[in-house]
Amino acid sequence: MRSSAALLVIFLLLQPSFFFDALSQTDVTTAPMEEKEKQALYYTIQGFVGKLWNGSELYPDPCGWTPIQGVSCDLFDSMWYVTTINIGPTYDNSLECSKKAEFSPYLFELRHLKSLSIFNCFASTNTQQTTIPADNWNKLSSSMQNLELRSNKGLLGKVPHVLGQLVNLQSLVLSNNSLTGELPRELGNLVHLKRLTLSGNQLYGNLPKSLGATLAELLILDISNNHLVGPLHSSLGGLTSLLKLDLSNNLLNGSLPLELSKLKNLTLLDLRNNNLSGAFNPSLLGMVSLQDMVLSNNPFGETIEKFDWKSLENLTYLDLSNMGLVGGIPNSITELKKLRFLSLKNNQLSGFVPAKLVDMPSLSALYINGNNLSGELGFPKDFYKRMRFASWNNPNLCYNSGAGETTGQGPIGVDECINRDGNSVHHLDLGENVSGEQTTQGFDGNVSSGSSAYPLHRFLWIAFLELVAILFLRY
């Protein structure tokens, strides 16, 4: 029996992986933690969760056998140091803040801290106002890589300019708080930043030019849902690594700078709900990787017919609603084979609806309601089956009764096409008229060669006007 045990011990010791793993495990579990570091951690957490929290009794070895939920540590020179702190109701056993939560000055004594995340901690019902500390961030400049303060409606005040001292920061997220004031230009010092998200606050003023001039590594820029004003600066073209640009729901004005054409890696552009205007210029054509373009609710007031849509072949989502667009729907837009969502609603578009829309293989949502489109919708039944489709509030638009939905009804809010004999009209060409002749009747009632079609109520109204004119002339 003894000989068997001895052989087993000798065998295990001859295995290098066993020996070194065991040695490594012993080093990790017995590694000490400076008392100063431990106390700084306890006081930091106590500032957020309340003074009744007794860390020394609950977690005597916070980096070892009594770990704290949301706290991570790393070894530096065979000593434990805190590298990550997450506070807030992220998990069932996460540390949650008290109504008197505050930033403890001991936070800045954790000199190896890489990541700090405070989520839903400072509530608007807190008994005291809380602001982001305006000092001491320089003590964490060599270590801090990630700073996230999210969904803290009781977090007030300005974005402190001293955050620009965190020169190794890769992610700065200050979203859905109650921050005010202008963005500090010192944020341009964060040259290694990959993500900058300041959405859902009450920030105002112009975008600092420094953001575009120095943040060449930035991948995500989201300052949506604020009160930013002024035009977009040409320096934004310097964000050549950018994948996502979201400046929606602000008060931005002016036209799009041509320098945006340098954003060739951009996949999402969201500028909706601003006061931007001007033509669809070449700045958009350079965004060859773009998948989502959302420009709705901006007073562009221009045509989209001259824009080279096929250059944006990767588009899957296109929202140009409520922009005051004029002219027709270009056939070139039907060349976007990956497009799944297209909204042109609530503009001033006129002319025919391109028949080639039916050939777009990925399209599943089409909104053209609220325009001045005319002619016949003669899409086949399977088009309506696979499509979320809206075309109402186009007074001169009608549908072919032979091509309606399976119930025999046409699109909601669109009348059936009839000719002057009162008969239904079928098989009209909705595409480009090869012969150059107009095939539908417009609002003015002028008919050109070929069959004419228009909504029933418009036909009756025009007939009524003609009858009134005849009676007037006769009597």
Instruction: Determine the pLDDT at residue 164.
Output: 96
Rg (alpha carbons) of the chain, rounded to whole number: 32
Predicted local distance difference test score (pLDDT) of residue 403: 54
Between the CA atoms of 271, 205, 185 and 149, what dihedral angle is there, to the nearest 10 degrees? -70
For 13, other C-beta atoms within 10 Å of its C-beta total 11
pLDDT on residue 429: 36
Tens place of pLDDT for every residue, the chain, 475 residues? 445 544 444 444 444 444 334 434 444 455 799 999 999 999 999 999 999 999 999 999 999 999 999 999 999 999 999 999 999 988 778 888 998 999 999 999 999 999 999 999 998 765 678 999 999 999 999 999 999 999 999 999 999 999 999 999 999 999 999 999 999 999 999 999 999 999 999 999 999 999 999 999 999 999 999 999 999 999 999 999 999 999 999 999 999 999 999 999 999 999 999 999 988 888 899 999 999 999 999 999 999 999 999 999 999 999 999 999 999 999 999 999 999 999 999 999 999 999 999 999 999 999 999 999 999 997 887 888 889 999 999 999 998 766 544 445 678 888 888 864 555 443 333 333 322 333 332 333 332 333 333 344 433 433 444 444 434 334 4
Distances (CA, A) of 235 to 210, 270, 273, 381, 421: 8, 18, 22, 49, 62
User: DSSP code of 309?
Assistant: G
Going along the chain from its start, the domains and CATH numbers come out as 30-110 (no CATH), 122-280+290-299 (3.80.10.10), 301-475 (3.80.10.10)
What token pair was written down for 418?
Answer: 């009839």
Beta strands in 151-274 (DSSP E): 155-156, 171-173, 180-181, 195-197, 202-205, 220-222, 227-230, 244-246, 251-254, 268-270
